[in-house]
Amino acid sequence: DVKVTQSSRYLVKRTGEKVFLECVQDMDHENMFWYRQDPGLGLRLIYFSYDVKMKEKGDIPEGYSVSREKKERFSLILESASTNQTSMYLCATQDRRFSDTQYFGPGTRLTVL
Amino acid sequence: GENVEQHPSTLSVQEGDSAVIKCTYSDSASNYFPWYKQELGKRPQLIIDIRSNVGEKKDQRIAVTLNKTAKHFSLHITETQPEDSAVYFCAASPAGGTSYGKLTFGQGTILTVHP
C-alpha cells in the first residue's frame, strides 16, 4: 500500500510568516506534486518534482517555492504567507516507471490570518 | 498550457439513476485522461482512466468515453448508489518529457445521490 503523509492536517499562520508544508512517501516514487484545492477551482498544480533536487513550476507557482533534498520528502514553502494562500494543500506521488496513477496525501488545511 | 473545463459543477440524482459528467480539454497533445473521486474529508483517489488510443473503457458501473476529435471525455455512472456521492475531478495529461505525469484538473463536480 502506498503511504503518503503530510506534516499537519490543520495549520494556522499569520500574514508574513514563513510556512513549511512537508510531504513524505514510502514507496520510492520519483514524481511528487503539490496542489492547492479551492472550491470551484478544482486542484491546481503549484510545483512538481521528478527527481531529487529537480523541480518544475506548475500552473500557479507565484508565492511558493519547493525543496526536494531526499527522494521521499517534498517540501512546499510559503516565503511570506498571505491571506489569499488560505487553502487546502494536497501532496501527491507517482511511480512513473510503472503507472500514471497519482497517490494523494490527506491534505493540510492552511489558514492565514 | 492545457485547460480543462468540467460540467456540471453540481449534479443531483435519485438512487438507481445514471449520472454523466463531461470535460473538455484544449491541448491536442494530451493523451491520458484520469478521473478522481474525493469523498467528503478524504483524499482524491483514481477511479478510472483512459488513453487517447482508446475510445471507451468500462469498469463495472463506471465508464469513460473519449472523443479526441472534439477534445472531450465523459464519466458515466450507472445504477447510482448513495456511496457514489462525492466530488469527481477529471484531468488531462501530456505525453512524455519532463512534464510526464503533470495533470491539469477540471473544476470538479459535486455528485449527490439521494436514497
Distance CA(A113)–CA(A12), nearest Å, equals 7
E-only strand ranges, B68-107: 72-77, 86-94, 104-105
pLDDT tens digits, A31-64: 999 999 999 999 999 999 999 999 999 999 999 9
Query: Does residue B7 sit at the A interface (CB-CB below 8 Å)?
Result: no
Calculate the average pLDDT of chain A.
94
Among the ranges given (A93-97, B31-35, B47-51), the one the predictor scored with the smallest mean pLDDT: A93-97
Give B87's contacts in chain A (Cβ within 8 Å).
none
Q: In three state form, how does the secondary structure of chain A look?
A: CCCEEECCCEEEECCCCCEEEEEEECCCCCEEEEEEEECCCEEEEEEEEEECCEEEECCCCCCEEEEEEECCEEEEEECCCCHHHCEEEEEEEECCCCCCCCEECCCEEEEEC
DSSP class per residue in B49-76: EEETT-SEEEETTEEEEEETTTTEEEEE
Residue appearing with cell numbers 463536480: B109
Query: Does residue B109 sit at the A interface (CB-CB below 8 Å)?
Result: no
Side chain identity, residue B30 = S
Is 70 exceeded by the pLDDT of residue B97?
Answer: no
Give B43's contacts in chain A (Cβ within 8 Å).
90, 104-107
Of B62, B115, B64, the closest CA to residue B92 belongs to: B64
CB contact under 8 A, B44 and A31: no
Query: Does residue A51 sit at the B interface (CB-CB below 8 Å)?
Result: no
Task: Please report the pLDDT score of residue B25 as a whole number.
Answer: 96
Query: Does residue B32 sit at the A interface (CB-CB below 8 Å)?
Result: yes
Size of interface A-B (CB pairs under 8 A): 59
pLDDT tens digits, B74-88: 999 999 999 999 999
Task: Please report the pLDDT score of residue B49 as a whole number.
Answer: 94
- The mean pLDDT of A16-30, rounded to a whole number, is 95
The answer to whether B105 and B4 are in contact (CB under 8 A) is yes
Residue appearing with cell numbers 518529457: B97
More confident residue, A57 or B52: A57
Give B33's contacts in chain A (Cβ within 8 Å).
none
Q: In which band, very low, low, confident or very high, does the pLDDT at B98 lie, cut at 50, 70 and 90?
A: low
Q: What's the gap between Cα A27 and its chain centre?
A: 17
Alpha-carbon Rg for chain A in angstroms? 13
